[in-house]
A and B are shown apart, each in its own frame.
Chain A
Amino acid sequence: MGNFGQLMDGFVVALTMHHVMIMVIGVLLGLVVGVLPGLGAPNGVSLLLPLTFTMDPIAAIILLTSMYWGALFGGSTTSILFNIPGEPSSVATTFDGHPMAKQGEAVRALTLAFGSAGFGAMVGVVVITLLSGWVANFALQFGSPEYFAVYFMAFASFIGMAGGSPFKTLVCIMLGLAVGTVGMDTISGEGRLTFGITQLTNGISFLIVVIGLFGIGELLLTIDEGYKFDGVKAKLSLRVILRTLAELPRYWVTLLRSALIGCWMGITPGGPTAASFMSYALGKRFSRRGKYFGKGEPEGIVAPETADHSAGSCALLPMLALGVPGSATAAVMMGGLMIWGLSPGPMLFTTRPDFVWGLIASMYLGNVIAVVLVLATVPIFAWILRAPFTVVGPLIAIVCLIGAYTVSNHVFDIWVALGFGLVGYVFKKLEYPLAPFVLAVVLGDKAEDAFRQSMLSSGGSLSVFFEGSLVATMMGIGILLLSLPLITALFGALFRRGREEGQTHSS
């Protein structure tokens, strides 16, 4: 049990007064970000990132991950009380959470959500504890072709499993990669795709992209959708909270199934949003009480919340062990690691064990703190949300613009962020997926380096990606994932034809 010993060392790192304070601050900031529509976890973390450049990396990552937990929890508060998801990943929570709150059981709904979310997060962290060392060891034998295959698999799984138009996903990934290549080429030193604009020589920071796409884009979407609160008042009572927590184990089947879905979707880059929807859909189909889903059914809250949070925490596993983030927020954090001078991936486990295990230990504690704080602050946030959006909106806009400026102190970046804001708004409305876009911006350089180095070693032949069983397997899985939409379309066509024939026969 080497992992266990290292985890204990990690607790020694994480359990200092300083770090616990940072966790509390991070969770509180995260709650604010999660509660306010227009500010989400990826955007919140990128706004905070420039402020951590001077901090110690361990304290900085604890701050950012705690903020992530806070944002994941905060999103559910608004979903249940106001029927407005504070985060995309808590959309599925509104389906049953808000009806339940309207029936006068707001506190029970909130407690169910936070309790199952806490359970999901814990499962996720345990999975990270058990698997990360093993995955990292496995990844130590990777060469550049293997790395390219991993990136290829990540992008292919977005195209294959996203559910929307595969071509739109392709466009998003490639646009993200293109944004990543703008600026000085790391190998030749030539400026690329700058079109003579000197401000582009340093490249476009992924932080600017995230602030634009998720922050400003989300803000415009909120304006467009009309922002009306139809709030439910919640009066916290400790008795109801405790009784509801005691009720939770009764849903153990749903809890376990949802946690599994969440872990899977988090490790493969499906992300928390996809996980919560999938878990809700599966819960509806397989639960005995499935037909009550949508009318305020407890399991309808438990399923998406558990999956959301286990996916959210599991998304950090591939980021740490492979250097391939499992969600947009994890992608931003990985960018942060690189800025702090750490290189995410298997080597991190040997070079900075204190960092890795300190972080993992902090996840246990951070989630406990988050559950307590989110319950305690429900009345405050319910009050804040009664402020009109004509006041809150401009404040969020200012936070985003200042955030864009602080990345590298250029006004030019604010314009770029505004541009990406418009892109984010239009893309979101037309169902272009944004998470793969961000992932591609962060991974762009690494994917290209891996590709070029593999091509160099093979002398320009693509066969390097299919020699050796490991690479070939990964590329094979990637190609299979890529062709998944095609396969399902073919099956769908066959099925539909069969059904139509059946209909003509019966009529």
Chain B
Amino acid sequence: MEISRKTMEVATAVLTGSVGALICYGSTENGIGWGPGGPEPGYFPFGIGCLILLGSLATLAQTFWKYAGARPEAAHGVSGAVPEEPFINGTRLRLLVAFVLPIVAMTAISAWLGLYIGMGLYIFYTMRVSAGFRTLTSLATALLVIAVNFVVFEKLFMVPLLKGPILEYFGIY
């Protein structure tokens, strides 16, 4: 599956535009006018939302203008035309998803079982599956990463990381 750059440009501009609209809406709940104590809390965000909307619409227009102007020229073979560029191709997209999904899974597991278990499983998975090391090597690396992080954060910098129910069951807080 290939995603074209134009599609992404349009999607992003629509998304930022919607965020702008959402901000405008959200700020009306705080009042966007002039209250007894000066400008109400929503006054500044409302302006920001409007400007985001404006910028997004302009970007959208620019995108359409750029690609619309390009096509007839390209048909005539005139140089300087903008060809249809891909944003990302299928192979790269699969690589990217294969990289992101484990991270999302790790975050979900960490929220539930704590960061140390989350990072251990994640490192084990990437070493074993993505990098193709042997099971024993992967296991050792995962344990090493956990140990290093434990020493650095809990002992050196005294910053406790989330432990989760399993570690707490074993009395590690």
Q: Are B115 and A395 in contact (CB under 8 A)?
A: no
Q: Are A397 and B103 in contact (CB under 8 A)?
A: yes
Shortest A390–chain B CB gap in Å is: 4
Shortest A190–chain B CB gap in Å is: 5
Known: A175-B19, A195-B26, A430-B9. A168 touches B41 (CB 8 A): no
Q: Are B23 and A452 in contact (CB under 8 A)?
A: no
B100 within 8 A of A: yes
Residues of A within 8 A of B96 (CB): 220, 223-224
Partner of B92, one of A170, A181, A224, A397: A224
- Residues of B82-109 whose CB lies within 8 A of A: 87-88, 92, 95-96, 99-100, 102-104, 106-107
Q: Are B44 and A451 in contact (CB under 8 A)?
A: yes
Shortest A409–chain B CB gap in Å is: 7
Q: Which one of B69-77, B155-163, B165-173 contacts A?
A: B155-163
Residues of B within 8 A of A391 (CB): 126-127, 131
- Residues of A370-409 whose CB lies within 8 A of B: 388, 390-391, 393-395, 397-398, 401-402, 405-406, 409
Residues of B within 8 A of A168 (CB): 55, 59
A455 within 8 A of B: yes
Residues of A within 8 A of B126 (CB): 390-391, 393-394
Q: Are B162 and A452 in contact (CB under 8 A)?
A: no
Q: Are B39 and A455 in contact (CB under 8 A)?
A: yes
- Total interface residues on A, CB under 8 Å, equals 53
Residues of B within 8 A of A195 (CB): 26
Q: Are B149 and A402 in contact (CB under 8 A)?
A: yes
- Bound CA span A390–B127, Å: 8
- Bound CA span A397–B99, Å: 10
Residues of A within 8 A of B88 (CB): 224, 429
Q: Which of A165, A223, A402 has the most CB of B within 10 A?
A: A402
A28 within 8 A of B: no
Q: Are A174 and B55 in contact (CB under 8 A)?
A: yes
Residues of B within 8 A of A170 (CB): 51, 54-55, 58
- Bound CA span A2–B10, Å: 56
A193 within 8 A of B: yes
Nearest residue, chain A, Cβ from B38: A456
B30 within 8 A of A: yes
A143 within 8 A of B: no
- Total interface residues on B, CB under 8 Å, equals 62
Shortest A115–chain B CB gap in Å is: 34
A226 within 8 A of B: yes
- Bound CA span A175–B13, Å: 12
Known: A226-B92, A398-B119. A429 touches B41 (CB 8 A): no
- Bound CA span A170–B20, Å: 12
Q: Are B45 and A178 in contact (CB under 8 A)?
A: yes
- Bound CA span A398–B153, Å: 13
Instruction: Give the interface SS of chain B, mostly helix, strand, loop or mixed.
Output: helix
Known: A398-B122, A405-B162, A411-B110. A192 touches B62 (CB 8 A): no
- Bound CA span A195–B27, Å: 10
- Bound CA span A220–B99, Å: 8
Partner of A452, one of B44, B54, B106: B44
A188 within 8 A of B: yes
A263 within 8 A of B: no
Residues of B within 8 A of A54 (CB): 158
Shortest B17–chain A CB gap in Å is: 9
B48 within 8 A of A: yes
Nearest residue, chain A, Cβ from B89: A224
- Bound CA span A430–B162, Å: 36
Shortest A39–chain B CB gap in Å is: 15
Residues of A within 8 A of B153 (CB): 402, 406
Q: Are A426 and B58 in contact (CB under 8 A)?
A: no
- Bound CA span A168–B170, Å: 52
- Residues of A184-219 whose CB lies within 8 A of B: 185, 187-188, 190, 192-193, 195, 219
Residues of A within 8 A of B131 (CB): 388, 390-391
- Bound CA span A460–B37, Å: 11
> A243-261 toward B: CB 8 Å interface, digit per residue (1/0)?
0000000000000000000
Q: Which of A193, A397, A401, A451 has the most CB of B within 10 A?
A: A193
Residues of A within 8 A of B68 (CB): none
Partner of B95, one of A190, A223, A397, A452: A223
Q: Are A188 and B41 in contact (CB under 8 A)?
A: yes
Residues of B within 8 A of A167 (CB): 55-56, 58-59, 62
Nearest residue, chain B, Cβ from A404: B107
Q: Are B159 and A406 in contact (CB under 8 A)?
A: yes
B145 within 8 A of A: yes
Partner of B87, one of A177, A411, A429: A429
Residues of B within 8 A of A418 (CB): 103-104, 107
> A172-184 toward B: CB 8 Å interface, digit per residue (1/0)?
0011011001000
Q: Are B122 and A394 in contact (CB under 8 A)?
A: yes
A414 within 8 A of B: yes
- Bound CA span A439–B56, Å: 20
Q: Are A402 and B55 in contact (CB under 8 A)?
A: no
Residues of B within 8 A of A51 (CB): 157, 159
Known contacts A398-B145, A406-B153, A456-B38, then 20 further A-B pairs from the complex at CB < 8 Å, ordered by chain A residue: A167-B55, A167-B62, A171-B56, A181-B48, A188-B41, A190-B41, A192-B45, A195-B26, A220-B99, A223-B92, A390-B131, A391-B127, A393-B99, A398-B123, A401-B106, A411-B162, A414-B110, A418-B107, A426-B12, A455-B39
The 8 tightest CB contacts between A and B, nearest first, are A171-B55, A390-B131, A170-B55, A167-B58, A394-B126, A456-B38, A411-B111, A185-B41
Pairs across A and B, CB under 8 Å, 27 listed: A51-B157, A54-B158, A167-B62, A171-B56, A171-B59, A175-B16, A192-B30, A192-B45, A193-B23, A224-B92, A388-B131, A391-B127, A395-B145, A398-B119, A398-B122, A401-B119, A402-B115, A402-B149, A402-B153, A405-B162, A406-B153, A406-B161, A411-B162, A430-B87, A451-B44, A452-B38, A456-B39
